[in-house]
Amino acid sequence: QVQLVESGGGLVQAGGSLRLSCAASGRTDTTYAMGWFRQCPGKEREFVARITWNSGNTYSADSVKGRFTISRDNAKNTIYLQMNSLKPEDTAVYYCNARLGKVAPVDYWGQGTQVTVSS
């Protein structure tokens, strides 16, 4: 029903920057929020940042506040994650998420994009 395609991952040195993109297609009319999660090696998937679709309100995890910024382009049904001051601990597979509906929500996920930060 909703397809999510991430792009922008890659290899970067510590202190560098990357911008991830996630384009949503399909039946997105009831999207409540979109966001980013990541799964670091040997760790569970964790929340990174999200943006409420209608209001544009943003929220991010403490571990990335001040370094990562989530934004949106409503016309393109696309969200972005600007990642600055990257650290090796940011190395992970980053997943795009779309949550449809405020009550009884349904989550959709992209396939993930690898971000590797070298020392």
Phi, psi (deg, nearest 5) at residue 9 = -70, 165
The pLDDT of residue 105 is 95
Pairwise CA distance, residues 1 & 10, whole Å: 28
Please, what is the average pLDDT of the chain?
A: 96
Using 50, 70 and 90 to split pLDDT, how confident is the model at 56? very high
Q: Please, which pLDDT band fits residue 80 given cuts at 50, 70 and 90?
A: very high
Amino acid at 18: L
Q: Is the four-CA dihedral 55, 61, 66, 70 of positive or negative sign?
A: negative
% pLDDT > 70, the chain: 100
